[in-house]
Structure 1
Amino acid sequence: MNGMTNEGAAPARTVTLIGKPGCHLCDDARAVVAEVAAATGAAVVEQDITQDEALYARYWEQIPVVLVDGEQHTFWRVDRARLHRALTS
């Protein structure tokens, strides 16, 4: 062990954007997610419902869907301020 610890450091947050190609709302959401993630240091993961049957079955009527640390945060439209609060609380 090198003696360095992560005590007191906030764990990295992860924002997952679930969408599909050709979705204009997904493009809008992607821009907001990227901006807020850059400002807060959150990681961003994208998942395509056309490549995953389980995601398709669960979310096809709601895309884009945004998860924060695996929990559904919002769908259709992403509120910049609300996402920022979720990532900094």
Structure 2
Amino acid sequence: MSQERVLWVLSRPGCHLCDDMVEELMPIARHYGFTVVKRDVDADPAWRQRYGRAIPVVLHGSVEICRHRCDAASVHDYLSRFPLE
């Protein structure tokens, strides 16, 4: 899973911070050939227990890249490790 070119944004419906995260993340992800998918944190009991109210959270597989706000530098640093296909 971690090698797929998909970033998950764990969120909740109506979360404006989550919407902001996706908006900021999309162009960065696109630059590196990744897609962004919003996932409801409450859809998985393990996510709900681990992240609770700490959303939004950006994950690549099980790797947490950032949470609460888009840390563009961290996202660029992480995604630059995966060569374009």
Q: What is the total number of aligned residue pairs between the two structures? A: 79
Gaps of 5+ in 2: none
3-state SS, counterpart of residue 26 of structure 1 = helix
- Structure 2 residue aligned with 1:39: 31
2:7 & 2:20 partners in 1: Cα distance?
Answer: 15
TM-score, scaled to structure 1 = 0.75
TM-score, scaled to structure 2 = 0.78
- Which residue, 52, 56, 64 being the options, matches 2:44? 52
Equivalent residues of 1:49, 1:55 under 8 A apart: yes
Output the aligned Cα RMSD. Answer: 1.7
1:50 & 1:12 partners in 2: Cα distance?
Answer: 23
Larger radius of gyration: 1
Gaps of 5+ in 1: 1-10
3-state SS, counterpart of residue 69 of structure 2 = coil
Equivalent residues of 1:19, 1:48 under 8 A apart: yes
> Which stretches of structure 1, 4 residues or more, deviate above 4 A after TM superposition?
none
